Structure 1
């Protein structure tokens, strides 16, 4: 029996519905990265670790160290070392997860398992109080790794639900929606932290409740993509026989060998490692720098990060429009130039000058969402079909909240100089090196070598 020609093709409608559902995971997980990693965890962990070391509430200028696995660590450096350790651990875990995702027909269920496990672990941050820094250290490392695992499945799904012409716009909408979601929860937390007396609780309890709310938000909104996305058969080529684990390791070994056959993909990945480390460290260190060096209170810091969130919402959409006209490559380059200016200006900021601090925050917001969104969509064009999980595993190993070299350098320079200003200026090298490597990427060649179609906008921009 033939299909009636009058019946409409519903596949485009289903795909748009999935694309809308997919963006909800950006909304869900951004609350963790914003409320916990970008704003509250760093300063709060430094304070808790400072108490344990006998520094009291001030860590800058304190010469006491904290014993961590037998090593003397400055309390102000501990949050950055923890982030570095989480990413080093991710470097071992995420590639295996990516190989597993590519061989599995259940990407959305992997997303659910990693997201809900990460949210459950992040909720343990509520119990970090007094001088009990250990539970916070374990919780932030494990939850960061699990968040990275969830992003491997999430990014691989981008390729399943969109074609080459749609990716820049869809990735930009996802990042924009994520910044909006993170901003909404942060606004609610701002009310709680600033109005803690009205709620009859201490500031520290308000901070702990805010970190708990991010874990609950992450878990709750993950339900939407998990229930509305569809599973698809894996498109990865058949690998060696054996169990799923055996095949995953075999595929990973082949991918690492074959990456040399895609020089533009490898070059962009290394460039991204550098400039994203710079971006993530600036965001992660902003609240600590603002509190400990510039002398701002928690209210100003949360308000500033909140401003960045909402400006980044518009910035991501703006860069999406630029990509529709010029392709994603050129806007990423221009965004890195702006990042260099931002770091230099932030280094010279005078203490307690709120107006200038907010001006820098606006600049960060404009380029933050755009550079990250377009980096994700541009990288997706450089991946051979069926290898999305493994390649995005390598990509997400240096993704937001998991940069290791930047946070390590920031923490090390602070430990050597006892000041966050030179530590911030040291991050310039990441943007300069990343930009120099990106200039050596031939986008059209890389996309064609990966077997994908070059988007029309990028072809027009190169004429």
Structure 2
């Protein structure tokens, strides 16, 4: 009797189709959380809040151009950057508390809901940031950023539970694609309101405040979908006695990671190349405006182009990973990043078309690099420790977020050239490639106690 005949005649678990249907039901709900919260990152953080909060702070500044939060003199033009930095510090303190609670109790969904609605509420309340209320704006920014960071730890920790090993690359890629699609859609609507505020009888400031508040309403409304569809599960860590709390649990996680050196090796590679990715995202507009002399409208169109093409890029790289494995596709994307940023060094000034070409190149590899990194890491996490490991993943990511901008800033300070500054970021992708290429991912998956997919 042939092997195929034996396989065909083997009894089939009648629960398998039902469980697969429930898993797909959860996956569709999981995608919607990216659709819900990514609008905050795009419209609020990337486009509207920074310039608006800076203007609010300048309106409240003294004759020397300083505001005084808690009695500390701060130049108004730096207020937004300092608020973002403080939010990173607070996030690093809060994320391990939420992750420990999630793994200890096995109840990620209530914590995800709480974080999401705190963030959505703080974002919607940004409508009231006006008339010199820079302190309120800074506080709401910190609360929203921390809430987003906590919710993403919990959101990412669902991936190993709702997707089988062979489907995680595709599921993670669809999640990122949903997020970029929502970001583009709402940004188009917000820009229509902002650019046409006179026709709507609104001042420019009121239009911006409506755009900020709408992101919070969007975040809160669509969060209802994943909260209805996702299920809480118990697990080894949830049932285990002696589970630590907060930073003690994070320390225990780091000690546990030392038993999985290949997981740590992947995390190190990810931190290096992802810091390059994040720095390109935050500094590309500076390069475009200061070095290439491009206007605000050109930069906004470039942001939209990145958002739209990131949807296609995330889905396309997800399909490539199905045939060639996530590690190979990530390595290929890092080569593409290196070529794109290297080409960006030679862009002519005052030529928006070539800047759009650069934005298109970034968009095509952006979503896929992030999505496949998340799915690959999910294979390296021991079962039952999803939240705490993804907490370390997020904390390490944010903890390294200063290095890329520092290199960018130091290069500009030493050379006086933004071209040299943007070119310096190539090193992050080259070093990240070298580190990732050395990680034996199949051995790492087995060491973590997980099944090894056919392609990884």
Shift, 1:285, TM fit = 3.2
Unaligned runs of 5+ residues in structure 2 are 1-12
Identify the residue that residue 93 of structure 1 maps to in structure 2. 94
Contact 2:69 2:135 survives alignment (8 Å): no
Identify the residue that residue 262 of structure 1 maps to in structure 2. 260
- Residue-by-residue CA offset, 1:181-212 (whole Å, 9 max, x unaligned): 11111111121112122112233332222121
- Residue-by-residue CA offset, 1:228-286 (whole Å, 9 max, x unaligned): 11221233265444xx7x55665433221111111111111122222222212222333
Shift, 1:46, TM fit = 4.2
Match of 2:46 among 14, 17, 38: 38
Q: Does 1:153 align with 2:151?
A: no
Match of 2:34 among 13, 21, 26: 26
Higher relative contact order (CA 8 A, sep 6+): 1
Distance in 2 (CA, whole Å) between partners of 1:150 and 1:97 is 9
Shift, 1:396, TM fit = 1.9
Distance in 2 (CA, whole Å) between partners of 1:72 and 1:431 is 38
Question: How many equivalent pairs are there?
Answer: 445
Contact 2:412 2:420 survives alignment (8 Å): yes
Match of 1:453 among 447, 451, 454: 451
Q: Does 1:171 align with 2:169?
A: no
Distance in 1 (CA, whole Å) between partners of 2:409 and 2:138 is 16
Q: Does 1:390 align with 2:391?
A: no
DSSP 3-state at the match of 2:166 = coil
Distance in 2 (CA, whole Å) between partners of 1:376 and 1:188 is 30
Shift, 1:419, TM fit = 7.3
Identify the residue that residue 60 of structure 1 maps to in structure 2. none
Identify the residue that residue 120 of structure 2 maps to in structure 1. 119
Contact 2:170 2:318 survives alignment (8 Å): yes
Identify the residue that residue 224 of structure 1 maps to in structure 2. 225
Distance in 1 (CA, whole Å) between partners of 2:95 and 2:315 is 29
Alignment of 1:301-320 (within 5 A): 301-320=299-318
- Residue-by-residue CA offset, 1:302-336 (whole Å, 9 max, x unaligned): 32211111111000001001100111111111212
Identify the residue that residue 82 of structure 1 maps to in structure 2. 83
Distance in 2 (CA, whole Å) between partners of 1:416 and 1:80 is 22
Contact 1:312 1:367 survives alignment (8 Å): yes
DSSP 3-state at the match of 1:432 = helix
Identify the residue that residue 434 of structure 1 maps to in structure 2. 432
Distance in 1 (CA, whole Å) between partners of 2:52 and 2:209 is 9
Root-mean-square deviation (CA, aligned residues, Å) is 3.2
Distance in 2 (CA, whole Å) between partners of 1:232 and 1:438 is 32
Distance 1:116 1:286, change over 3 A: farther
Distance in 2 (CA, whole Å) between partners of 1:73 and 1:423 is 26
Contact 1:87 1:402 survives alignment (8 Å): no
Identify the residue that residue 59 of structure 1 maps to in structure 2. none
Distance in 1 (CA, whole Å) between partners of 2:418 and 2:203 is 28
Unaligned runs of 5+ residues in structure 1 are 56-62, 459-463
Distance 1:145 1:403, change over 3 A: farther
| Range moving further from structure 2, 123-132 or 418-427 | 418-427
Distance 1:401 1:116, change over 3 A: farther
DSSP 3-state at the match of 1:109 = helix
Distance in 2 (CA, whole Å) between partners of 1:366 and 1:188 is 23
Contact 1:103 1:248 survives alignment (8 Å): no
Shift, 1:341, TM fit = 2.9
Identify the residue that residue 17 of structure 1 maps to in structure 2. 25
